[in-house]
Amino acid sequence: MKALDISEVAKRSGVPASALRHYEEKGLIESIGRRGLRRIFEPVVLDQLALVALGRAAGFSLDEIARMFGVDGRPKIDRAMLAAKAADLDATIRKLEAMRDGLRHAAACPAPSHMECPKFRRYLRVAAAGAHGGRKRDRLAAPFSSGTGNSLSHDRSPRRPPVDRRR
């Protein structure tokens, strides 16, 4: 039969069982019953998990993901909102591109201090551009350690910076 036991789902998806329980509690996935105490899931949960992972990778919170898509992958809220999210992502992408170019340049440029390099400053300006107009510090990706062995990034939790309200 098609029913998957939680450990099966964990194994196939790479998502720890504890996280699966957490997702279920949050309403992101649902189990179709129990075998004894054990949760059992339909195989489609694997697709749902992929969608969740994708949303998380794009920086959405679990709550946002739950609001964007039902467990069936059907958009729950209006399409305009999805389009807006897409637009947000687009702005995000442009900032990341500037950051990437800045880093790339920093790795190659011989200038002693990048702050004095006009090219670098230009990237900086581009990247900062978004943060300025809209006035909102958003947070983005923690790209993971590349294979360089330089892994400084031990990633963990995202965070939304609280809106700053200083008088």
Partner DNA sequence: ATGCCACTTCAAGTCGACTTGAGGTCAAGC
Partner DNA sequence: GCTTGACCTCAAGTCGACTTGAAGTGGCAT
Name the β-bridge partners of 41: 4
Residue 31 or 117: the one with the smaller Cβ distance to DNA is 31
Name the minimum Å distance from CB 28 to DNA. Answer: 8
Quick note: the x/- pattern for DNA over 48-67, rule CB under 7 A, is --------x----xxx----
How far is residue 88's CA from residue 82's CA, in Å, rounded to a whole number?
10
Structural contact between residues 46 and 9, judged by C-beta atoms closer than 8 angstroms: yes
How far is residue 87's CA from residue 20's CA, in Å, rounded to a whole number?
30
Which of a copy of itself, DNA, none interacts with 110 (beta carbon under 5 to 8 A by kind)? none
How far is residue 124's CA from residue 159's CA, in Å, rounded to a whole number?
23
Which of a copy of itself, DNA, none interacts with 36 (beta carbon under 5 to 8 A by kind)? DNA
Question: In sequence order, which residues have a C-beta less than 8 Å from that of residue 107 and are 6 or more positions away?
Answer: none
Q: Which of residues 144-163 bind DNA (CB under 7 A)?
A: 154, 156-163
Residue 40 or 71: the one with the smaller Cβ distance to a copy of itself is 71
CB neighbours (10 Å) of residue 64?
Answer: 16
Residues that bind DNA (CB under 7 A): 5-7, 16-19, 21-23, 34-39, 56, 61-63, 137, 154, 156-165, 167
